[in-house]
Amino acid sequence: MKHARVIFEGQAHHGTAHELNGVPDAAVRLDDGRVVPQAQLTWLPPLAPTPRPRTILALGLNYADHAKELAFKAPEEPLVFVKGQGTLTGHRQHTIRPANVEFMHYECELAIVVGKTARRVKRADAYDFIGGYTVANDYAIRDYLENWYRPNLRVKNRDTCTPIGPWFVDAKDVADPMSLALRTTVNGKVTQSGNTKDMIFDAPFLIEYFSSFMTLSPGDLILTGTPDGVVDCRPGEEVVTEIEGIGALINTIAQA
């Protein structure tokens, strides 16, 4: 099932994806039974079982083609950084592009939502600890990058820089998260395509890896990286990051 968190008529609601005029997922059935078109809602991060994660872990260079695109050797161990909760924003919201920035790009990523407390989990059991999935768009500002292998705080830890959603999809409803097509469009033009099968470090590996030295809590997020095809995004442009079976996340760039 696809779950959402939204605001309608000034009230926060949980809801589920609903067909409208023959179009799948075009509306949300609110917890009070009303069916509301997407455009009439204010969307919140759709995380479950908690509204906000304790920890957000994000992978860098987790697709070999993206590492090559940036002229770097693919990592032999996960390249990971931690993000703050304030970076998150919802579907159909705006992401701020700071003034005088030369290169700010999207990153379409499958986001793993931890379902239960995980500590020293074995790879074979990893899927038991995944509650579900959502789409993340992990914007980066290359102007601020001091070192490719130690990205500084401003590159990815800025308010509104990580839209997620629109849906939280239960893990049991995703047959194979390691074989999902990814696609990004900018103003309707396809600029990025890939598949989660091309991750260097897949979902089970990441659950085992992180839980070997830290406790993962329900609601924690793992952003699994992006394939090649990133381009600069300008104010006013609409960016849609889409993952097969998970959803299409719409975001618009706004000037600071």
pLDDT in tens, 174-221: 999 999 999 999 999 999 999 999 999 999 999 999 999 999 999 999
In the chain, ranges of CATH 3.90.850.10 domains: 48-255
Tell me the pairing of strands 238-243 and 181-186.
Answer: antiparallel
**CB distance 133 to 112 below 8 Å:** yes
Average pLDDT score, the chain: 93
Report d(CA 132, CA 116) in Å as an integer. 11
At the fourth CATH level, which superfamily is domain 48-255? Fumarylacetoacetase-like, C-terminal domain (3.90.850.10)
Q: What angle do CA 143, 184, 75 make, to 5 degrees?
A: 60
The CATH number assigned to the domain with range 1-44 reads 2.30.30.370
Which one has a higher pLDDT value, 149 or 22?
22
Residue 189, token pair as written in the block? 């033009």
pLDDT in tens, 52-98: 788 999 998 898 766 566 656 677 899 898 999 999 999 999 999 99
Lowest mean pLDDT among 107-111, 146-150, 222-226: 146-150
Q: What is the pTM of this model?
A: 0.94
In the chain, ranges of CATH 2.30.30.370 domains: 1-44
pLDDT of 149 over the 60 cut: no
